[in-house]
Structure 1
Amino acid sequence: VEGGGSGRKAKRARRESAPPKEKGSTGRSSKREAKAKVVEAGTAAGLARLRYDWPIGLKVEALQEDQNHFGAWFTATVIGHQHPDKVQVEYDELLEDESPDEGDEDAIPQLKAAVPVRNMRPLPPPKVDGWVNRVGIDDVVQLDYIGGWWNVKVLEIAEGTYTVISLDFDAKHTVGEDLLRPLPAWYWDIGQKQWLIKGYEEELEEALEEARKVANVDSMVL
């Protein structure tokens, strides 16, 4: 009997010493967990879309917004993705600002950066022969300068050379047609959710699919 009584007292003591439970805490915890799962699923879906639209290894052009290169498009390679709307790239021509040996350009690493998808596009199609014959005064074309493509306006045409002025800087250049290209005509296809070039859809889709295949194979390598 005494043993039983001691047991009842011990149980009462444990109950009395235990902290009171907050009302509704279990419900709030479940809601938080459910919300976290929804966010996690949304993040996974967003990353999957980024990987599909911009597969690793795809060559792209990225629009610059810093004051030194504002408005220029530089070629880069997709190396990663950042939810919700950025793609990590490694530039072909842009280099990191700091280097242990600034005198040796080959030792300076290529710039890596996260670029918003709104500032990215696939590589444009190759130039069509004779395109420059249709260029006139005040037309806007693009100039190949220090590794990037810059929007410029044609001021003068003389003996196979073109004098152009930057749309964003007070800088003039006189160059041959080999350093110019037509202004790429891009549009966003709402149905397919990817960049397309009018008249160049098949070639671009082939490039995207090839990059996706390579990216999928690389992702399976441990």
Structure 2
Amino acid sequence: MAPKSKSKSKAKAKTPKPSPSSSSKSSSSSSIFKPGTRVEVSSDDDGFRGSWFSGTVIRRAGADKFTVEYDNLLADERGKKKLREQLGFHQLRPLPPEEAGVEFKFGDEVDAFHNDGWWEGSITQELENGMFAVYFRGSKEQIEFTADQLRKHREWMNEKWVPPFAQQEQEESDETAEEFNFCEGMLVEVSNDEEGFQGAWFSATVVEVIGDDRFLIEYKTLLDDNSNLLREEADKWHIRPPPPATSENIKFSYLEEVDAMYNDGWWVGVISKVLGDSKYVVYFRSSNEEIEFPNSQLRPHLDWIGGKWVLASEVWLQPILR
């Protein structure tokens, strides 16, 4: 069954009883969701999980409760009155900013506009004429969409969008980088913006703190022309601590984002096939290649955000099959 359309004569949704909350939480919800605020609403109803519907806050309806009028959902079959519901704070989030010039690729976690709402899915095919096939985990169906019917999937966490929008990312970049200090002798991973190396991280050691947020690093596996361990300068935006170790017996899922050990570095890719004997085929977007790996050469893809390691599947890349 495809993602459902919200029933026009939908019965009033049950609003979960709010748990005891601090005054700061109540104050936060009041300041964010004032009357007139444009929002998106999630639903706990069966068949609608993973969907978001736009609306407007009409009034505050109690402690962390709000009356919201939907943009596209109607209160009855006659279609003359917009549906209003009383909803909990946890069901609301601000309307995401619009993005221009977004490019979509295989494996991207997206929201697709369908039946008056945005439904979470994953791109499984890049088709001709700018079309994309999107797989919906909830209904286990695949539907084709144009690019203008899609947007990058994001989560609203701690009053911030994850992954961040370009403007938000720029505002937070300096602040984030300053939360972790790198010192001499520290083991790190280093990225490179040169063509052919995007999406790869290489193990290194900090040899010297040069200043102006720059460091002299020595790679663990890369050699210079004299067959010595390569040394070069790197800035704080291209250095991170090594991610925590994971079990060698870990299992991965179709379309899960991973890092694969290849050519002396960790390269970000997507599981495109699950094989037997703990082997997987990984698709690399940067090179448009597929390569087979045993699970001992794979690790979950982690992002270094706000001084913490964040598992992609727990934040914005939720694997569609488990």
Structure in which a larger fraction of residues adopt strand: 2
CA distance in 1, matches of 2:65, 2:121: 28
8 Å CA contact 1:43, 1:84 repeated in 2: no
2:145 pairs, out of 175, 198, 217, with 175
Residues 43 and 165 of structure 1, relative CA distance in 2, 3 Å threshold: closer
Contact kept, 8 Å, 1:79 with 1:90, in 2: the verdict is: yes
Deviation at 1:185, TM superposition (A): 4.4
Q: CA deviation at 1:46?
A: 7.8
Runs of 4+ in 1 over 4 A off after TM superposition: 42-49
SS in 2 for 1:111: strand
Distance 1:68 1:111, change over 3 A: farther
1:84 to 60, 63, 66: 63
Task: Give the total of aligned pairs.
Answer: 144
Q: Could you tell me which residue of structure 1 aligns to residue 36 of structure 2? A: 57
Q: Residue in 2 aligned with 1:146? A: 115
Counterpart of 1:196 in structure 2 is 160
C-alpha displacement at 1:187, in angstroms?
Answer: 2.4
Percent of matched pairs sharing the same residue: 26
Deviations 1:98-143 (A, max 9, x none): x4xx3x43x2x211112211121111111231x22xx332221010
The question of 1:118 aligning with 2:82 is answered: no
Aligned to 2:106: 137
Larger radius of gyration: 1
- State the distance in 1 between where 2:29 and 2:46 align: 28
- Deviation digits for residues 140-188 of structure 1 (CA, Å, limit 9, x no counterpart): 1010001100001111112111011112112221111011011124321
Per-residue deviation at 1:45?
Answer: 9.0
Normalising by structure 2, we get a TM-score of 0.41
C-alpha distance in structure 1 between counterparts of 2:22 and 2:124, whole Å: 49
For the pair 1:93 / 2:72, whether they are aligned, the reply is yes
Aligned-partner residue type, residue 128 of structure 1: A
Q: Deviations over 1:16-37 (max 9, x none)?
A: xxxxxxxxxxxxxxxxxxxxxx
Higher normalized helix content (fraction of residues): 1
Structure scoring higher RCO (CA < 8 A, sep ≥ 6) equals 1
Query: C-alpha distance in 1, partners of 2:109/2:28?
Result: 34
Q: Indicate conservation of the 8 Å contact 1:162/1:175, yes or no.
A: yes
Instruction: State the match for 1:205 in structure 2.
Output: none
| Equivalent residues of 2:47, 2:138 under 8 A apart | no
Whole-angstrom CA distance in 2 between matches of 1:170 and 1:43? 39
* Uncovered stretches (5+) of structure 1, i.e. residues with no partner: 1-41, 189-194, 202-222
Q: Does the residue aligned with 1:51 lie in a helix, a strand or coil?
A: helix
Structure 2 Cα separation of the partners of residues 164 and 79 of structure 1: 34
Say whether the 8 Å CA contact 1:50–1:81 is kept in structure 2: no
**2:165 maps to 1:186:** no
Q: Please, which runs of 5 or more residues in structure 2 have no aligned partner? A: 1-20, 169-322
| Residue type of the alignment partner of 1:119 | Q
Distance of 1:200 and 1:63 partners within structure 2: 25
Contact kept in structure 2, 1:141 and 1:153, CA below 8 Å: yes
Paired AA for residue 160 in structure 2: L
Report if aligned partners of 1:64, 1:70 keep a CA contact under 8 Å in 2. yes
Q: Secondary structure at the match of 1:118?
A: helix
- Determine the C-alpha separation between the residues in 1 that align with 2:47 and 2:88: 19
Counterpart residue identity of residue 67, structure 2: Q
